[in-house]
Amino acid sequence: MSPDAQSSNQPSKKDVSIGAYLLGRLKQLGVKHVFGQPGDFNMGFLDLIEDDEGIEWIGCCNEMNAGYAADGVNRVGVLVTTFGVGELSAMNAVAGAFSEMVPVVHIVGTPSTESQSQGALLHHTLGNGDFKIYHKMYENITVAQTVLSHHNAKDEIDRVLRECYIHSRPVYISIPTDICVKKIAADLSQPLVLTIPENVHEVEYAAINRVIGRIHKSANTIVLIDACASRHDISKELLDFINKTGFPFFTSPMGKSIIPENHPLFGGIYIGSVSEPHVKREVEEADLIISIGAIRSDFNTGGFTYHVSQAKTIELCYNRIKVFFATYEGVSMKHALPKITACIERMPSSTISPPYQHNLLEDDVKDQRITQNWFWHEVSSTLLQENDIIIGEMGTSVFGLMDIRFPPGSTFIGQILYGSIGYSVGACLGASLAATNVKERRRVCLFVGDGSFQVTAQEISTIIRHNLNPVIFLINNNGFTIERMLHGIKRKYNDIAQWKFDQTLEYFGGSNEVGRTVKLATKSDFKSFVSSILPATPSRIQFVEVMMDKYDAPRALIGTASFTAEEHMKEKVLPMLHEKLHKKEVSGEQ
């Protein structure tokens, strides 16, 4: 994520409307699309967007979906809503971006300064004359907030956008209708300052010294990469460190693909006790673990089953370094890591096993039905390609994906921490638009279960309307399998309504010619479909319904559920599913 450079010859200051200034700054952050819904308090701002050559308005079906789309662009995303009804509809999406550390700028069109100061009983209010209440609610889920006025607009816009970028978290900008068109003298040719402050020299020096000392004492060091390494943009620094030291590295599920998985030093995915046995052993038996950007949430750690002692762990975070039990506050890894790399030579380390060793099971190959385990193996070995954007919905999809090999250059989008179902369909819209920003349009592959799909399904129409071309795999397994694994496996509340999923493109696209729909019930169906789309990125949207059993789940989900499910499930159901997984493996594609 880096802002587009702007080398402009504009005169130093000129009159520009506040709305236009905001758009100018957003474009400097690389923003090309703005997501949202029109409402009478934001349409003045939408006029500016619609008339702007460099930025495109993407009207969504509702604001939650628009929020997910803004999250899915995988750099600074922008969401525009209207006062009250719009901004509250988007609350869950913005909270998700806050939790997962995604930089989303949420711009809310609000009633005019005059109406607000009068406490007018306008529509979209709570009927109590309080115009600050929604803003106040947003303080809980954004890292900076502002209400623009004629006086403060320039400084405030710069401040909150900087906070958004630096902390990689959502911010909230309220623009009253009358303020949007007010002119200010402003100089867009002065770029936003987006660098984070240097570390305090003495503290950083002490921390680095300690880190290097520990590294030199260890005979067997591994690196464990997690999500904050990408959120705080140190993948390049990290790759340099790994290449120079020669340390094997493992990643958490949320850390997948930050360093390409075809790297010779890649050891696999560490998910605590849910890991493949060889990965678990290699991580937990290391002398020293250098943990980069950790987010130790339940589903990212196999249900809190890390067996990694703090007494042999060095943690690098965006705002501190911790060596065993000593914390060096305020030392950012962004500045410290290159200095560590510079001070260290290639180190001896133990050899590691190939990262992915789990093979197909008897159950997976005994007939033509598509099992979860077979499906994810196949996705990894035959479908995914270099530079794919891979989106996984919370559910069997994300647990299936966390356990398979991703191709080099790929990007992984999912909500393993926040876990809001329906996220992936909105995110697919954002990611598909972002994929058009590069010369060779990247392919987007979305994996979503039927229950989650129903949450936000209508956004498929926006994907179609903008001629985007993701490959969408809808896993039709009649409901919430992830919930079944945790509680109430046979309960009706985990069932869903059956839709005619194979009419999705026709219904939401207004025509039966907008894309291609296929329904896959057998392994041969899947193989034919994959060979039909390879190797090129399909030119039209592909909607692929894959039939699976409602009680089947990927290995990592069954494993995680074994630690987090209700007692009945832990005692009775999951052991049976586990047993199935431990049947004699047969040779598979991988």
- 40 carries an active-site annotation: yes
Nearer to a second copy, 7 or 140 (CB): 140
Task: Determine the residue type at 465.
Answer: R
d(CA 325, CA 503): 57
Q: Which residues neighbour 16 within 8 Å (Cβ) at sequence distance 6 or greater?
A: 24, 183, 184, 186, 188
Q: How far is the CB of 198 from a second copy (least distance, A)?
A: 26
d(CA 219, CA 210): 16
Does 304 engage in binding with a second copy (CB under 8 A)?
A: yes
Angle between helix 43-51 and 18-28 (nearest 10): 50
Contacts to a second copy from residues 236-295, by CB under 8 A: 295
Q: How far is the CB of 430 from a second copy (least distance, A)?
A: 17
Does 401 engage in binding with a second copy (CB under 8 A)?
A: no
Report yes or no: 376 and 475 within 8 Å, Cβ to Cβ: no
Pairing of strands 541-547, 471-476: parallel
Pairing of strands 313-316, 320-323: antiparallel
| Catalytic residue chosen out of the listed positions 4, 119, 123, 467 | 123
Candidate residues 145, 494, 517, 537; the one interacting with a second copy per rule CB under 8 A: 494
Does 149 engage in binding with a second copy (CB under 8 A)?
A: no
Q: Which residues neighbour 270 within 8 Å (Cβ) at sequence distance 6 or greater?
A: 224, 250, 251, 252, 279, 280, 283
| Phi, psi dihedrals of residue 116, rounded to the nearest 5° | -65, -40
Nearer to a second copy, 86 or 267 (CB): 86
- 483 carries an active-site annotation: yes
Candidate residues 191, 260, 488, 588; the one interacting with a second copy per rule CB under 8 A: 488
Q: How far is the CB of 292 from a second copy (least distance, A)?
A: 17
Nearer to a second copy, 115 or 373 (CB): 115
Size of the site for a second copy (CB under 8 A): 86
Q: How far is the CB of 399 from a second copy (least distance, A)?
A: 12
> Which H, E and C letters describe 538-584, residue by residue?
CCCEEEEEEECCCCCCCHHHHHHHHHHCCHHHHHHHHHHHHHHHCCC
| Catalytic residue chosen out of the listed positions 39, 255, 272, 419 | 419
- 123 carries an active-site annotation: yes
Locate 577 and state its tokens.
Answer: 């599913």
Q: How far is the CB of 298 from a second copy (least distance, A)?
A: 5
Residue with tokens 């988007």: 90
Q: How far is the CB of 262 from a second copy (least distance, A)?
A: 30
Region of 149-157, 332-340, 467-475, 493-501 interacting with a second copy (CB under 8 A): 493-501
- 419 carries an active-site annotation: yes
* Closest to 395 (Cα-Cα) out of 424, 364, 370, 430: 424
Region of 130-138, 201-209, 322-330, 352-360 interacting with a second copy (CB under 8 A): 130-138
- 124 carries an active-site annotation: yes
DSSP 8-state secondary structure symbol assigned to residue 99: H
Does 507 engage in binding with a second copy (CB under 8 A)?
A: yes
Candidate residues 487, 540, 578, 580; the one interacting with a second copy per rule CB under 8 A: 487
Does 497 engage in binding with a second copy (CB under 8 A)?
A: yes
- 201 carries an active-site annotation: no
Pairing of strands 14-17, 183-186: antiparallel
Nearer to a second copy, 321 or 394 (CB): 394
Locate 376 and state its tokens.
Answer: 């994810």
Nearer to a second copy, 57 or 250 (CB): 57
Give SS3 for 458: helix
Does 455 engage in binding with a second copy (CB under 8 A)?
A: yes
Locate 242 and state its tokens.
Answer: 């790994």
Does 137 engage in binding with a second copy (CB under 8 A)?
A: yes
* Closest to 314 (Cα-Cα) out of 241, 213, 244, 246: 213
Q: How far is the CB of 508 from a second copy (least distance, A)?
A: 6
Residue with tokens 């040779």: 587
Q: How far is the CB of 303 from a second copy (least distance, A)?
A: 10
**Angstrom distances, CA of residue 50 to CA of 15, 47, 57, 415, 560:** 20, 5, 6, 31, 47
H/E stretch holding 207 = helix 201-217
Contacts to a second copy from residues 166-205, by CB under 8 A: none
| Catalytic residue chosen out of the listed positions 30, 40, 59, 158 | 40
Query: Mind giving me the DSSP string for 473-486?
Result: EEEESSS-HHHHHH
290 Cα distance to chain centroid: 23
Task: Determine the residue type at 124.
Answer: H
Which x/- pattern, by CB under 8 A, does the window 83-112 give for a second copy?
-xx--xx-xx--xx-xxxx-----------
Contacts to a second copy from residues 369-398, by CB under 8 A: 394
Locate 94 and state its tokens.
Answer: 């913005």
| Catalytic residue chosen out of the listed positions 24, 72, 479, 515 | 479
Contacts to a second copy from residues 548-567, by CB under 8 A: 566
Nearer to a second copy, 491 or 572 (CB): 491
Q: Which residues pair with 543 in a beta bridge?
A: 472, 517
- 578 carries an active-site annotation: no
Region of 8-16, 270-278, 455-463, 535-543 interacting with a second copy (CB under 8 A): 455-463
Query: Mind giving me the DSSP string for 322-350?
Result: EETTEEEET--HHHHHHHHHHT-------
Which x/- pattern, by CB under 8 A, does the window 45-84 give for a second copy?
-xx-xx------x-x-xx-x-------------------x
Residue with tokens 């209708």: 177
Q: How far is the CB of 296 from a second copy (least distance, A)?
A: 6
Catalytic residue numbers? 40, 63, 123-124, 419, 450, 477, 479, 483
